[in-house]
């Protein structure tokens, strides 16, 4: 029993799920659900369909190169069972998935960093342009100025 991988969306296919298509050149295509199967039949390219893993990887939304990925590799050579080795492997798998999660988070943060800066800039522009809409703007404006000053000071200190 193996957990397969969907040809279209790359999600895991548990035993008893999904459908497989054998092309006349003997290539097998596994699909996790009818949605993926239908999309394949529509000749859609998974790299161009936004909701697939392939799209996300191609467009830099997710990690593609990482040492944790290298640990998982399909090995077609049978290995004799060894309790110690399997035990270590299971622990390693857990550890690897933890690490992978963290790295994914870092990847996300890095990806969003520029966006956050942009959003802040936009917000400041908006404040500047439309602060007059709010009553008692004077007091708030002053508060903002104080904040800015402090921020500048901090930067200088660092």
Partner 1 sequence: MPVYDLKRLAAVPSASELVDIVLMRTQRKTPTVVHPGYKITRIRSFYMRKVKFTQQTISERLGAIVQDFPRLDDVHPFHSDLMGVLYDRDHYKLALGQLNTCKKLCETVTRDYVRLIKYADSLYRCKSLKVAALGRMMTLLKRQRASLGYLEEVRKHLGRLPALDPSARTLLVCGFPNVGKSSFMNKVTRAEVEVQPYAFTTKSLYVGHMDHRYLRWQVIDTPGILDHELEKRNVIEMQAVTALAHLPCAVLFFVDVSEQCGYTIEQQSSLFHSIRALFADKQLVLVANKTDAKKVEDLDAGRKQLLEDMLSAHRTNGPGGDEMAKMVEMSNVTEQGVADVKNLACDLLLAHRVEKRRAYQGGARVRDRLNRLHGTTPDAVEDIRKVAAAARSEADAAEARVAKAAPRPTERDVMWRNGGPGVYSADLTREYIGQLKCDEWRTDLVPEIMDGKNVLDFVDEDIVAKLALLDEDEAEAEEGLESAAREAAHAALSPAELALVTAVRDKKVLNRRVAQAARGRRNAPVPRQARLRSEGAAGNDEDDATVRGRAKSAAVKRTRSLSRPSERDGRAAARAEAMDVDGDADANPAKKQKRSASRGDAHRSQSRPPPRDEQGLNEADQDAAREIGKKMQKKMNRMARSGEADRKTGPKLIRWMNEGKMGRGARNCR
**56 or 68: CB nearest partner 1:** 68
Closest CA to 103 of 133, 146, 66: 66
- State the first-to-last Cα distance of the chain, in angstroms, to the nearest integer: 56
What whole-number distance in Å separates Cα of residue 99 and Cα of residue 156?
35
At its nearest, how many Å lie between partner 1 and the CB of residue 145? 9
**41 or 94: CB nearest partner 1:** 94
CA-based R_g, the chain, Å: 25
Cβ atoms of residues 29 and 7 within 8 Å: yes
At its nearest, how many Å lie between partner 1 and the CB of residue 10? 12
Tokens 């049978």 map to which residue?
78
At its nearest, how many Å lie between partner 1 and the CB of residue 85? 6
**48 or 72: CB nearest partner 1:** 72
**What residues pair up with 32 in beta bridges, in sequence order?**
none
**41 or 119: CB nearest partner 1:** 119
At its nearest, how many Å lie between partner 1 and the CB of residue 142? 9
Q: Report the interface residues with partner 1, using CB under 8 A.
A: 1-3, 12, 14, 67-68, 70-75, 79-83, 85-86, 88-97, 99, 102-103, 105-106, 109-110, 113, 116-117, 120, 123-124, 126-127, 130-131, 133-134, 140, 143-144, 146-148, 150-151, 155
Supply the DSSP symbol for 13.
E
Closest CA to 4 of 31, 40, 34, 23: 31
**12 or 60: CB nearest partner 1:** 12
């Amino acid at each position: 029993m193996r957990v397969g991988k969907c040809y279209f969306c790359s999600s895991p296919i548990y035993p008893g799920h999904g459908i497989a298509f054998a092309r006349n050149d003997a290539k097998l295509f596994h699909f996790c659900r009818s949605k993926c199967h239908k999309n394949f039949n529509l000749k859609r390219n998974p790299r161009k369909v936004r909701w697939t893993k392939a799209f996300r990887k191609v467009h830099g939304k997710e990690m593609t190169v990482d040492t944790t990925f290298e640990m998982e590799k399909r090995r077609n050579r049978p290995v004799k069972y060894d309790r110690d080795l399997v035990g270590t492997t299971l622990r390693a798998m857990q550890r690897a998935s933890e690490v992978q999660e963290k790295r994914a988070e870092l990847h996300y943060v890095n990806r969003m960093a520029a966006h956050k800066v942009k959003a802040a800039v936009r917000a400041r522009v908006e404040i500047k342009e439309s602060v007059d809409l709010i009553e008692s703007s004077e007091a708030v404006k002053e508060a903002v100025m104080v904040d800015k000053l402090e921020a500048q000071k901090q930067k200088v200190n660092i």
